[in-house]
Amino acid sequence: MVRLSGVEREQLEGLVKRGRETAYHRRHAQVLLRADEGERGNGLVDREVAERVGYSRRTVEQTRQRRARARASRRHWSGTNARGCWMVKAKRAW
C-alpha cells in the first residue's frame, strides 16, 4: 500500500513533468503516483500499474517495498536534494 503526502506527490509529479530526470526515476515516480491510495491517488493494484507503466508486476512490488522501507527508516525520505526530489537521493539506498 502506498499513501503519499501532498508534498511527496508534488515532488513526484514535478519529477515526471520536468523531463530532465533519468527514465528510471521518472518511471518509478509514475509507479508510486499510480499506486498511491491517498485522496489524490488512483490506488491501482500492482498488475494495473505494471500494465500502464510498462514494468513487470514484480518491479512494481519492489518499487513500493523500497519506498516503504525508505519511509520507515526516514533516512532518505525526510528531505529533498538539490534537484528537489527525495527519489534521486534515496536511490543510493535501494
DSSP label of 81: -
Per-residue pLDDT of the chain (94 residues; tens, 9 = 90+): 788 888 889 988 988 888 777 888 888 899 999 999 888 888 899 999 999 999 999 999 999 888 888 877 765 444 444 444 555 555 544 4
pLDDT at 85: 55
Burial 32-41 (b: 16+ CB within 10 A, else e): bbbbbeeeeb
Opening angle at CA 62, ends 58 and 44, nearest 5 = 70
d(CA 73, CA 93): 11
In 3D, which of 78, 88, 93, 82 has the Cα closest to residue 5? 78
Segments in 36-77 forming alpha helices (H):
46-53, 57-73
